[in-house]
Structure 1
Amino acid sequence: MGAKRYELNEAQWVKISPLLPGKAGDAGRTAADNRLFVNGCLWVLRSGAHWCDLPERYGKWKTVHRRFSRWCHAGVWERVFTALTADRDNQYLMIDSTIVRAHQQAAGGKGGLKNQALGRSRGGLTTKIHMLADTLGRPLRFIITAGQAGDVTQAPALLQGQTGEAVLADKAYDSNALRAIIADMGATAVIPSNRTRKVIIPHDINVYKQRNRIERCFCRLKHFRRFATRYDRRTSHFAGFIHLAAATIWNQ
């Protein structure tokens, strides 16, 4: 678990370091240990271990955890991720979602399950991660909801302000309202028709095959254990880990 493979290499650090707070000229204290801190957060993200198991080389775990929390609330991780997505490929936009199990320690967050995007079902506590991806299947935007939330309900927010030639999604997103939103974008809806439709709406089968890229992206993201399983009580902390994992995909 303490292997260096969890840490940023030199090329990755050079790319991400200008996006972090604490640089010379920034307001507040200069953070000379940003690299060590980010590597410590990556260690927890990848390993799925408790914060208290953080190796000593990263510093006192309570200090690292407190700083991670501050960056989550300040939106630092999301801003870093957003900055890295500037070099996107917008020919196709893809939307999909995945359900992750929430560990029992994720229950009991302030505001109850609803306010912390947790749902309860036969399988236990779950959270759903809704994602927008570019042509290459790289993540562009996330929305976190309780596990029972419908996929199509979050699609308009994922697509808001986006442009592309086509939007690819599976039949769970087949709705007239969403198709109208996509048409207003000037894009083509590449979505298979649900069986309940009386008149089947054709879609480009060859283009639709590209949708497997967003599925592969979810598989890559789930190599980060704190993405694959939710351990965090606060949604803001879980979102911080999601954006850090996504930033790592863009920073390779």
Structure 2
Amino acid sequence: MGVLDRLILRDEQWERISHHIIGDERTRGSSGRDNRMFVEAVLWIVRTGSPWRDLPEVFGEWNSVFRRFSRWSRKGIWWRMFAAMSDDPDFEYLIVDSTIIRAHQHAAGGKKGAEDQALGRSRGGLSTKIHMAVRGLGCPVRFRLTAGQKGDAPQADALIEGLPADIVMADTAYDSDRQGLPADIVMADTAYDSDRLRNAIADKGAVAVIPNNPSRAQKYPLDKHLYAQRHLIECCFSRLKQFRRVATRFEKTAENYLAIITIAAIVLWIR
């Protein structure tokens, strides 16, 4: 089976995202040349986790593909595509959570140091943490990166910012700045249980669905039937990690790794 036999995008999927890509076959120069094959090349890297140098020749010269991928990352093109694909106001609630990603040793050495590139060091080695908000049907709508040792709750504010919700649920939890996530409910686990976050949610006219920390003196009621839906974010993380370049971080910069996650999230939305 050849490489071209395992391309990811079907014609109708490419049609959905192609309108949000800069340049086309009429564009002067090479910026609009072979857009579909370029996107497939990046998807091949994201899916297989292979080094850029191992990109099959059928996709073109690997360094040209990598430089174009990085350029699109800086310009926010991947995020623009994701925002268009995930612009679905018809969901009931959000679920907030995080997952730790082991970073390969090749991810070290980015400019401005590890902390600025969302890399943390511990006895387990280098790691990055993905903080994410997922819609009620299990598709990602907002995510941030931090160093692996960072706490979850401090990132929750950014994940629910601008949320005109009625209910918010939280789990034990770099930003895509998406504004106005319409939802009726937001979920999260015990790690998000704090009066500060509960009050922030209440100030938005929302209700927090968060389990009580065992040490809490004042207990809050919990809708266990509703909270059971929190497994959807675990399923979303599992689907994202099927893309090997997401499951292990190889990118030196947080910007490029965030782009990798965004590309995988686009695929989840258009499947």
Match of 1:61 in 2: 62
Determine helix, strand or coil for the equivalent of 2:255: helix
For 1:28 and 1:175, how far apart are their aligned partners in 2?
54
Match of 1:152 in 2: 153
Q: CA deviation at 1:119?
A: 0.3
Q: CA deviation at 1:26?
A: 7.8
Determine helix, strand or coil for the equivalent of 1:193: coil
More deviation in 27-36 or 49-58? 27-36
Determine helix, strand or coil for the equivalent of 1:158: helix
Determine helix, strand or coil for the equivalent of 2:86: helix
For 2:141 and 2:164, how far apart are their aligned partners in 1?
12
Match of 2:259 in 1: 240
Cα deviation 1:99-143 (Å, max 9, x = unaligned): 000000001111111111000001100000000111112100110
Over the residues paired in the alignment, what is the CA RMSD in angstroms? 1.7
Match of 2:86 in 1: 85
Question: CA 1:15–1:121 in structure 2 vs 1: closer, same or farther (change >3 Å)?
Answer: same
Match of 2:75 in 1: 74
Question: CA 1:57–1:170 in structure 2 vs 1: closer, same or farther (change >3 Å)?
Answer: same
For 1:88 and 1:112, how far apart are their aligned partners in 2?
38
Question: CA 1:173–1:4 in structure 2 vs 1: closer, same or farther (change >3 Å)?
Answer: farther
For 1:39 and 1:6, how far apart are their aligned partners in 2?
6
Alignment check: 8 A CA contact 2:91 2:137 kept = no
Q: Which has the higher helix share?
A: 1
Q: How many residue pairs are counted as aligned between the two chains?
A: 252
Normalised TM-score (structure 2)? 0.89
Q: 2:245 aligned to 221, 226, 237, which one? A: 226
Q: Which amino acid aligns with 1:187?
A: A
Alignment check: 8 A CA contact 1:45 1:226 kept = yes
The unaligned stretches of length 5 or more in structure 2 are 166-183
Alignment check: 8 A CA contact 2:193 2:211 kept = yes
Q: CA deviation at 1:5?
A: 2.9
Question: CA 1:28–1:132 in structure 2 vs 1: closer, same or farther (change >3 Å)?
Answer: farther
Cα deviation 1:150-181 (Å, max 9, x = unaligned): 00010001111122222200111101111111
Determine helix, strand or coil for the equivalent of 1:137: coil
Q: Which amino acid aligns with 2:259?
A: G
For 1:67 and 1:153, how far apart are their aligned partners in 2?
34
Q: CA deviation at 1:29?
A: 6.0
For 1:32 and 1:180, how far apart are their aligned partners in 2?
51
Q: CA deviation at 1:25?
A: 8.4
For 1:80 and 1:27, how far apart are their aligned partners in 2?
22
Determine helix, strand or coil for the equivalent of 1:162: coil
Q: CA deviation at 1:3?
A: 5.8
Alignment check: 8 A CA contact 2:25 2:34 kept = no
Q: CA deviation at 1:2?
A: 3.0
For 2:205 and 2:28, how far apart are their aligned partners in 1?
42
Q: CA deviation at 1:85?
A: 1.0
Match of 1:203 in 2: 222
Alignment check: 8 A CA contact 1:22 1:28 kept = no
Alignment check: 8 A CA contact 1:117 1:235 kept = yes
More deviation in 57-66 or 164-173? 164-173
For 2:93 and 2:26, how far apart are their aligned partners in 1?
39
More deviation in 17-26 or 208-217? 17-26
Q: CA deviation at 1:23?
A: 3.7
Determine helix, strand or coil for the equivalent of 1:81: helix
The unaligned stretches of length 5 or more in structure 1 are none
For 1:53 and 1:24, how far apart are their aligned partners in 2?
27
Normalised TM-score (structure 1)? 0.95
**1:216 pairs with 2:217:** no
For 1:56 and 1:239, how far apart are their aligned partners in 2?
26
Q: Which amino acid aligns with 1:249?
A: L
Alignment check: 8 A CA contact 2:117 2:253 kept = yes
